[in-house]
């Protein structure tokens, strides 16, 4: 029973992470389409998703 509960928690966490990644990807694509620079996009993503500059930089570069 406990394993099932922990599995559900892990599944919820995975789904939430996938949703956030999808939102970040969409935001990066939108900023790029609008002509916003890579550096500015990294700053905006860091603010919007409460990421460090390094985390944001790594994530943004995946979708740039």
Report pTM.
0.79
pLDDT of residue 2: 52
Beta carbons within 10 angstroms of residue 29's beta carbon: 13
Residue with tokens 């956030």: 20
The pair of structure tokens assigned to 60 is 């943004």
Taking only the tens place, the pLDDT of each residue in 2-46 is 555 555 666 677 778 889 999 999 999 999 999 999 999 999 999
pLDDT at 37: 98
The domains of the chain are located at 21-64
Question: What's the pLDDT at 58?
Answer: 97
Total residues belonging to the chain: 64
Look at residue 23 in the predicted model and tell me its pLDDT.
98
């Amino acid at each position: 029973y406990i394993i099932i509960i922990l599995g559900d928690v892990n599944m919820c966490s995975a789904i939430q992470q996938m949703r956030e990644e999808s939102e970040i990807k969409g935001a990066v694509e939108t900023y790029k389409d609008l002509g916003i620079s890579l550096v500015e996009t990294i700053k905006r993503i860091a603010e919007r998703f409460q990421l460090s500059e390094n985390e944001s930089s790594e994530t943004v570069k995946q979708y740039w």
